[in-house]
Amino acid sequence: MVNLIKSLNNHAVQGVVAVSDREQRERIKTHALGLKELKDKLKYWDYEEVIKVHEGLSFVYECINNLQLVSPSF
């Protein structure tokens, strides 16, 4: 939590906390609610949704490459 608070001072940095299950995420949410610096700044993204987005982006990237829509020099 301390490192996340420190990251708020640098706009070039985005702090991320990755957890393996919903229980841990909820513990972090509860803890962050007690920290005024963090309570309104954290975003929570379900790991199952992250996996789905990754799969979708991977598919799109593969399609773009197969169609050679982007020049190799780019």
Domain residues for 27? 1-43
Domain match, 20 and 36 both: yes
**Percent of the chain residues past pLDDT 70, beyond the cut:** 97
Tally of structural domains, the chain: 2
Shared domain check, 59 and 37: no
If pLDDT is split at 50, 70 and 90, which confidence band does 66 have? very high
Q: Are residues 3 and 31 in the same domain?
A: yes
pTM of the model: 0.62
Q: Is the pLDDT of residue 1 over 90?
A: no
Same domain, 51 and 39: no
Do residues 42 and 32 make contact, with C-beta atoms less than 8 angstroms apart? yes
Give yes or no: residues 54 and 20 share one domain: no
- Cβ partners under 8 Å of residue 13, min gap 6: 7
Query: Distance between CA atoms of 13 and 41, rounded to whole angstroms?
Result: 13
Shared domain for 39 and 60, answered yes or no, is no
